[in-house]
Structure 1
């Protein structure tokens, strides 16, 4: 009986390991997130109005987790997933009210604040358009 439990547990662990280790490999195939300086500046204004009360003026965290530094868990993950997450769960006082443009420019601001460099290519506006990109450079 115990052997059967270990065999079943082992297969679940193996399956979970495949899921855990497959995600970073997929992220390696994603392109760096494009955004412009103008989008970052506009996103900074959106961030200050919509996010800073909880996440801090400098993304340092306050009543909610920090959005920069070592504890920010979205770096090098699919940008489309982060866009969808923000749009579905933020802001805390008006969940689901952010437009595609607001989310994308906030992401551009966060990207620059996390050390990414703006360029000439604008950030895509929708989660679907962000699918080829990772939140990172």
Structure 2
């Protein structure tokens, strides 16, 4: 009888230990999955950062700035003056210049001045 009880206890101990090992394995798997996800996010952030430092990225940012600042929404301004006729920079860009707020419009049309006013008004503080 004592031998049977001891055997039952040993079998129960083995099952309990197997259950504990299985639970520990599951916990380790969950932890590993979380760590892999965090590592994947870090790699993605690093790749995005490295991509933003490249020449093509800075050229694209400059191109986008020119498109938003020119009146014709072009990404290239002929600064050499070899175009059809020379131009004044204030006539082809939508940028607040020295004449802003003085009460006169040095631009070709009122729409260009309205665009500058809208740009200044919409600028976040």
TM range, smaller chain = 0.3 to 0.5
Structure holding more helix per residue: 2
Structure 1 length as normaliser, TM-score?
0.31
Q: Which has the larger radius of gyration?
A: 2
Q: Which has the higher relative contact order, 1 or 2, with Cα contacts under 8 A spaced 6 or more apart? A: 1
Structure 2 length as normaliser, TM-score?
0.34
